[in-house]
Chain A
Amino acid sequence: MEKLLELDNLHVSFQTYGGEVKAVRGVSLSLDKGESLAIVGESGSGKSVTSKAVMRLLPNKIGSIKEGAIRFQGKDLAKASEREMEKIRGAEISMIFQDPMTSLNPTMTIGKQIMEGLRKHQNMSKSEAKERSINLLKLVGIPNPELRVDEYPHQFSGGMRQRVVIAIALACNPKVLIADEPTTALDVTIQAQILDLMRDLQDKTGTAIILITHDLGVVANLAQRVAVMYGGMIVETGTVDEIFYKPKHPYTWGLLASMPKLNADSKELLAIPGTPPDLMNPPKGCPFAARCPYAMEVCLDHMPEATNVSSSHKAACWLLDERAPKVEPPEAAVVGGAR
């Protein structure tokens, strides 16, 4: 079956005063209709850049797609014109941003902000668009939508604003929704509500979701498949169960180990020592080698190929090579293992 969205060996670079920063270095991903895929990784791993590249919203002049293709329904978005992208943005692929406090225009009523996309993509009249906006607000669980549609963003709380942002993103029934850390800026209780809402809406609309996050709790809640990114590359992909229960890459182990657990004996939070690689001069070998407790000589000089663990599970690590020593994940990285 044809994939809805396919990234093929995507390279994205930024031109800075210090030189070229290779933020994304050969990412290949695919997304099926109605599927939800999480991209996980720490700050600077290239996950947000990947999503902005799909929307072609990289900062002008500085950021550019160097190589690779973004195939969406058979069309290569990496080569699409700005005009073609305007027809896709909002209508076919839309996006939710991290901070709802800043992603709404403070001087425009939220109704107008929802209507903008509807009027552009679906040629609705003002009254039709307004009616649809009210329905959307109702759909995302905002009480009294008839009144609130004429209010300004500052009259909404953070969680309510994120609901509005979701309503804007879903206005034209997009096929793909990219959620860039949708709950990071919210209170924990609100986070759960927003995640519930997103899952609920996905059931109703069948929209495929790309969830970008560094929070593995969010991943477990919402995603079916996970891609772990590090140093501008995907180091491991698999289903949620495979990533949580049978992780193969030491970086994934580190991520899982650093997840705070309620039942842990130790009061200390575990962290992965070291810092992410300098993407201006990316390492020749595995980007994680410098921080990896299991690193071998080969890791420093040669980038490991992605190895198939199962039909849905891939990891790029030399430990999976048959000549490598057998290593077990540390106890802290075993989900539920401490129980």
Chain B
Amino acid sequence: MLRYITKRVFAMFLTLLIIATITFFLMKLLPGSPFNNQEKLTESQRYALNEKYGLNDPVPVQYINYLGKLAQGDLGYTFQFDGRTVNSMIANGMGPSATVGFEALLFGTLVGLILGIAAALKHNSFIDYGAMVMAVFGIAIPSFVFAGLLQYYVGVKLGWLPVAFWNGPEYHIMPAFSLSVGVIATVARFMRTEMLEILGTDYILMARSKGISKQAVIIKHCVRNSMIPIITILGPMAIGLITGSLVIENIFAIPGIGEQFVKSINLNDYPVIMGTTLFYSFLIIVIILVVDILYGIIDPRIRVAGGKS
């Protein structure tokens, strides 16, 4: 197990290096340069700025310099503000991003579980069909469509919730809900399928034959076991949330990492592009690794499978 994890961690750094390389050179292919569009600057000022940030060096030299700093955990300085490090920008953006992501994941999983369980228990009924039609819409329609619709109807027309920005709990509701729609749909569908399968197993009949009430059997035997695959899809779902948040944070003007990321591309803010890309990549790789390790821990059958036979 330890050897496996060491191997995976090593592979993780290799992946990050490849991502850093590809991103770096792709970024250099972007048209324009960071200080071109600021017309007030004189030629010599522009030269001085480029010199300060090392942009006058040949690209391979810039690349080596960047990697050198990256190895020390230094993501460099942003071009947008004087003296602000990318590390601090990511640290500041983490708060809102993680909050929205976590709220969406929690809300989406809870509602998805309830919908899935209800659909399975009322199999082939109005509730079942309703929940599954909703799930199909939730999977098919991207989160930014919901975001736009919510902003227009709930934010503008009804005026119930603020349309954008990040100034308190009421500002969380619409972005978190738009993000969670996909999670609700995915969890509901998985839960329904799994519940239906487990409801038909012998051990449910066996549990009933012990005289335990139907509710207790459903909660203790069926729902519990049905949640195993849900835990295993939480990883891919968390990744979906991260990519979804890039767009959602921009739509709702949330000062998170996603917003920084999109803004930095528009401004050719090289260190921020690199920093946020690497941060997201790191997050996704870590989630995948954790889920892979969790697989074995959650399900006792998988745990010893390697040791037997």
A positions within 8 Å CB-CB of B: 55, 57, 82, 85-91, 94-95, 97-99, 102-108, 113, 116-117, 120-121, 152, 154-155, 165, 168-169, 171
Pair B300/A86 contact, Cβ less than 8 Å: no
- Given contacts A86-B212, A86-B213, whether A106 and B207 have CB atoms under 8 Å apart is no
A107:B300 contact, CB within 8 angstroms: yes
**Cβ distance A326 to chain B, nearest Cβ, rounded Å:** 46
Whether B206 sits at the interface, judged by CB under 8 Å, is yes
Return the contact of A121 from the options B211, B224, B228, B300 (Cβ within 8 A).
B211
13 A/B residue pairs, CB under 8 Å, sorted by A: A57-B205, A82-B214, A94-B209, A98-B202, A102-B201, A102-B203, A105-B225, A106-B301, A107-B228, A116-B220, A121-B211, A152-B301, A154-B301
In the bound complex, CA of A87 to CA of B221 (Å): 19
Residue contact A106 to B214, C-beta cutoff 8 Å: no
Q: Which residues of A contact B221 (CB under 8 A)?
A: 105, 108
Task: Tell me the complex Cα distance, A97–B203, Å.
Answer: 9
Shortest CB-to-CB span from B111 to chain A, Å, is 24
Q: Confirm or deny: B3 has a beta carbon within 8 angstroms of a beta carbon on chain A.
A: no
| The residue from B206, B212, B225 contacting A120, defined by CB atoms under 8 A apart | B212
A90 to B209, CA, bound (A): 6
Q: Residue-by-residue, is B76-110 near A (CB-CB < 8 Å gives 1, otherwise 0)?
A: 00000000000000000000000000000000000
- B201 / chain A contacts, CB cutoff of 8 Å: 102
Whether the pair B202, A89 counts as a contact (CB closer than 8 A) is: no
User: Would you give the shortest CB distance from A46 to chain B, in whole angstroms?
Assistant: 18
Do A91 and B211 have beta carbons less than 8 Å apart?
Answer: yes
Contacts of B209 in A (CB 8 A): 55, 57, 89-90, 94-95, 97, 169
The distance in angstroms between the C-alpha atoms of A165 and B205, with both chains bound, is 12
Give Cα A57–Cα B207 distance, bound, in whole angstroms.
11
| Residues in A whose Cβ lies below 8 Å from that of B213 | 86
Q: Per-position contact with A for B16-47: 1 when CB-CB < 8 Å, else 0?
A: 00000000000000000000000000000000
Contact with A along B213-253 (1 / 0, CB 8 A): 11000001100110010000000000000000000000000
Q: Is the interface of B mostly helix, strand, loop or mixed?
A: helix
Selected from A97, A113, A120, A168, the residue in CB contact (under 8 A) with B202 is: A97
Contact status A116-B205, CB under 8 Å:
no
Contact partner, A116, options B202, B212, B299, Cβ 8 Å: B212
Please determine whether B211 and A117 come into contact, CB atoms closer than 8 angstroms. yes
A168 lies within 8 A of B210 (CB): yes
Contact A106 B225 (CB under 8 A): yes
Indicate if the CB atoms of B224 and A89 lie closer than 8 Å. no
Checking B212, B214, B220 against A117 with a beta-carbon cut-off of 8 angstroms, the contacting residue is B212
Task: Indicate if B208 sits at the interface (CB-CB under 8 A).
Answer: yes
Size class of the contact patch on chain B: 20 to 34
Q: Are A88 and B211 in contact (CB under 8 A)?
A: yes
**Contact A106 B300, CB 8 Å, known A57-B205, A99-B202:** yes
Inter-subunit contact A57/B211 (CB<8 Å)? no
CB distance from B11 to the nearest CB of A (A): 31
B304 interface residue per 8 A CB criterion: yes
Complex Cα distance, B299 from A95, in Å, reads 27
A88-B211, A90-B210, A95-B209 in contact; A102/B202 too (CB < 8 A)? yes
Query: Does A97 lie within 8 Å of B224, measured CB to CB?
Result: no
Picked from A87, A107, A117, the residue with its CB within 8 Å of the CB of B225 is A107
- Distance, CA A87 to CA B213, complexed state (A): 9
Q: Is the CB of A155 within 8 A of B206?
A: no
Complex Cα–Cα for A116 and B202 (A) = 16
Tell whether, in the assembled complex, residue A116 and residue B207 are in contact, meaning their CB atoms are under 8 Å apart. Answer: yes
**Chain B residues within an 8 Å CB radius of A108:** 220-221
Interchain residue pairs A-B with the least CB separation, the first 9:
A90-B211, A89-B211, A90-B210, A117-B210, A103-B202, A102-B202, A95-B209, A105-B203, A103-B206
For A165, the chain B residues whose CB sits under 8 A away are 206
Q: Which residues of B contact A99 (CB under 8 A)?
A: 202
Known A82-B214, A89-B211, A117-B211; judge A104-B225 contact (CB<8 A). no
Distance, CA A154 to CA B205, complexed state (A): 19
Per-position contact with A for B276-309: 1 when CB-CB < 8 Å, else 0?
0000000000000000000000011100100000
A97-B301 CB under 8 A given contacts A91-B211, A107-B224, A116-B212: no
Bound Cα distance A97, B209 (Å): 10
Q: How far is the CA of A7 from the CA of B211 in the complex (A)?
A: 21
Contact mask for chain B residues 114-135; partner A; CB cutoff 8 A; 1 contact, 0 none? 0000000000000000000000
- In the bound complex, CA of A317 to CA of B211 (Å): 40
CB-CB nearest in chain A for B224: A107
Q: Counting chain A CB atoms within 10 Å of each CB, which of B205, B211, B213, B214 scores highest?
A: B211
Chain B residues whose C-beta falls within 8 Å of the C-beta of A121 in the assembled complex: 211
Q: Identify which of B210, B220, B224, B225 contacts A94 (C-beta below 8 A).
A: B210
B225 close to A116 (CB less than 8 A): no
Which residue of chain B is the closest to A154 with respect to CB atoms?
Answer: B301
